[in-house]
Chains A and B, each alone.
Chain A
Amino acid sequence: MSADRGSLPRYIVQRILLVIPMIWLALTIVFLLLRVAPGDPVSAAVGGKLDAAALASRRHSLGLDRPLIVQYWDYIKDVATFNFGQTISDNRPIIDVIRDNGGATLTLTLGAFLFALVFGIPLGLLAGRYRDTAADAVIRVFGVVSYAAPIFWTGLLAVILIAPTGWPTYDIASPVTKFEVHPVTHILLVDAALSGNADAFWDVLQHHVLPCLTLGLLLSGVFIRLVRVNLLHSLQGDYVEAARARGIAERHVIRRHAFRNALVPVITIIGLQVALTMSGAVLTERTFNWPGLGNQLVKYLVARDYSAVQGLVTFFAIVVVIVSVFIDILNAVIDPRVRY
């Protein structure tokens, strides 16, 4: 019946239209949070270096002496035109910061996700299938510990262990590579591939391994636990028993009915890990001195640069919203029940 086909596009459109109000809400919250702070952004950032008059004029040039509602409106307008403001401490447009460092964070998170999926999902299914056996216990303990271990600790241990072998443990590429590769997409891995320089590409790839594995390990711990729980639920499903009653082989029942149905909510769960991934990325970048947005955020935090922090957090919030909508749509494609 066409009702089935028709509702999916409609659902997608609905979700996409929701993006605007959701982003607006996120922006409002970010704005309010950062304005709630007592004290004054400019003096916090550069207080010691400028005298009172210079501070005042700086404040004025940044528009910080205008009424709050005007600032708010300007802020929204700016973001709509992809203007995330200006940093106070080093006077750069934040959009430039995003452009220069976003690519590194992107490749880091995608690589980590890939590893976590490949490693975590099969282990989670295994643990659920063979519940309460030794294998299950080991896998679950691994899941707990990999989540408990701070990512900066596992990263540091990895560095301590691997550094003596000569494998790169620091930064995203060697200085030579960085010099040779021209920024086209501003994603170093892609640019290195585009440049046709095999050595450069390999260099960047090598540098990716350790950070992606570290972050991926953390994520896989979460995936394992979630997949396992979902599988346990779906194994108890009534349709599983009904399938057995129809004489379907146990192996097939587990694979087709239990596994598959268990993995459907996993898509949503993976999407929800975006938040976790971002936090993890910030820490990973700090550990490996990875030139991503997380590292930049920390730098501006330590410098107490309100404007930069606001701009970057805004960007992060927008990314979270967009990804969550995307996940919703993906979920609807996979699970026919959601479309209504």
Chain B
Amino acid sequence: MFKTLTSPIRNTSGMARWILLAGLIITAAFVIMAIFAPWIAPYGFAQNSSDGMRFPKMGPPSAAHPLGTNDQFFDILSRVIWGARTEVTVVVLSVLFAVSVGMPLGLLSGFLGGWADRLMVFVMDVLYSFPSLLLAIVFAFLLRGPLGGGTFAAALALTAIYIPQYFRVVRSTTASAREATYVEAARAIGARNGTIMGRYLFGNVIQSVPVIGTLNAADAISTLAALGFIGLGIQPTDAAEWGYDLSRALDDAQSGIWWTTLFPGLAIVLLVTGLTLVGEGLNETVNPTLRKRRFRKVRMPANEPTSALVEGEV
């Protein structure tokens, strides 16, 4: 099974491979930042003084604060590193939730068929066609009340947006696999239903989920940052969040203060790009229609006319 999972990666070549590698490296860097934040970050994310000395307000990048400080006296480098932890946590949670809700629903729906299936497909389609940010806004708005402004609430808000994607992929594979000729053929040679589902469906789905998952994650980071920017994201006291930092930088922009904007935003760009590259790289290899057949040059030896006509010698 490990072989099936990694075969698309091992089969990459050319440009797809570079894309994939670049994306993986970038993403890995941020994941490391996220995991080791407490040890890497020079200060806490809500820390505004050290050794009794207050940090400067909106201080430009300096030796003490390589990325500068913002209007809440926080060190920006620390905010960026801690922010990585927030982003990664929220995104991983939300994708996991979405997968664990969307896939079983899809399986059920595809398997059941009939009106239940049609109804679910309809609802999911409508959800899917809604602008994702607006949907996130609505959910964040609703969940704010009961759940407060922490990472968990944010993750849940994002979950709902991504459920339809997993639902669709699993459902369509299930539904078409029910009818597919290869399943019929499998049944014809006596394979049990469980085997059919396991082998063929699982394999099919496994191929597309990593692509969807990584592109989802990229989108989730963007959406989370956007929510933070609007003010519906994670509260600054609960965790550091890059989007929120950018919302504070709005006023600074008019007066030429650039470091409060540049660095948190750069972090977002890099992480989203990294994830997107991974997703696109995987997509190029997994999706056979996009693959360009690699033709090798071939050199022909000189032509010996082996097929020359030999007159009948008797």
Please report A residues at the B interface, Cβ cutoff 8 Å. 25-26, 29, 33-34, 36-39, 44, 131-132, 137, 144-145, 147-150, 152-153, 156-157, 159-160, 163-164, 169-170, 229, 232-233, 236, 274-276, 278-279, 282-283, 286-287, 297-298, 301-302, 304, 309, 313, 316-317, 320, 324
A44-B145 Cα distance, complex, nearest whole Å:
9
Is A39's CB under 8 angstroms from B253's CB? no
A236 cross-chain contacts in B, Cβ below 8 A? 289
Is B273's CB under 8 angstroms from A157's CB? no
Is A309's CB under 8 angstroms from B256's CB? no
* Residues 246-284 of B at the A interface (beta carbon under 8 Å): 246-247, 249-250, 253-254, 256-258, 261-262, 264-265, 268-270, 272-273, 276-277, 280
A-B contacts, 6 listed (Cβ < 8 Å): A144-B276, A145-B269, A275-B130, A275-B132, A282-B133, A287-B250
Stretch at the interface among B175-183, B203-211, B222-230: B222-230
When the two chains form the complex, which single residue of B218, B222, B229, B269 contacts A286, counting CB atoms closer than 8 Å?
Answer: B229
Residues A313 and B134 in contact in the complex (CB < 8 Å), given A152-B246, A153-B265, A287-B250: yes
When the two chains form the complex, which single residue of A34, A131, A283 contacts B138, counting CB atoms closer than 8 Å?
Answer: A34
Is B137's CB under 8 angstroms from A147's CB? no
Is A232's CB under 8 angstroms from B290's CB? yes
Chain B: number of interface residues, binned into ranges = 35 or more
Is B145's CB under 8 angstroms from A39's CB? yes
Is A301's CB under 8 angstroms from B137's CB? yes
A29-B134 Cα distance, complex, nearest whole Å:
13
Instruction: Give the number of A-B contacts (CB < 8 Å).
Output: 138
Is A169's CB under 8 angstroms from B265's CB? no
In the complex, what residue of chain A is closest to B127 when comparing beta carbons? A29
| Chain B residues touching A, majority SS | helix
CB distance from B281 to the nearest CB of A (A): 11
Is A148's CB under 8 angstroms from B229's CB? no
B131 cross-chain contacts in A, Cβ below 8 A? 274-276, 278-279, 316, 320
Is A282's CB under 8 angstroms from B253's CB? no
Is A150's CB under 8 angstroms from B142's CB? no
In the complex, what residue of chain B is closest to A149 when comparing beta carbons? B269
Whether, in the assembled complex, B188 has its beta carbon less than 8 Å from a beta carbon of chain A, the answer is no
CB distance from B116 to the nearest CB of A (A): 18
In the complex, what residue of chain A is closest to B131 when comparing beta carbons? A275
Is B229's CB under 8 angstroms from A26's CB? no
A278 cross-chain contacts in B, Cβ below 8 A? 131, 133-134
Known contacts A149-B268, A278-B131; 17 additional CB pairs below 8 A are: A29-B126, A33-B142, A38-B146, A132-B292, A144-B276, A149-B269, A150-B222, A152-B226, A152-B246, A153-B261, A153-B264, A157-B261, A278-B133, A279-B132, A282-B134, A283-B229, A287-B250
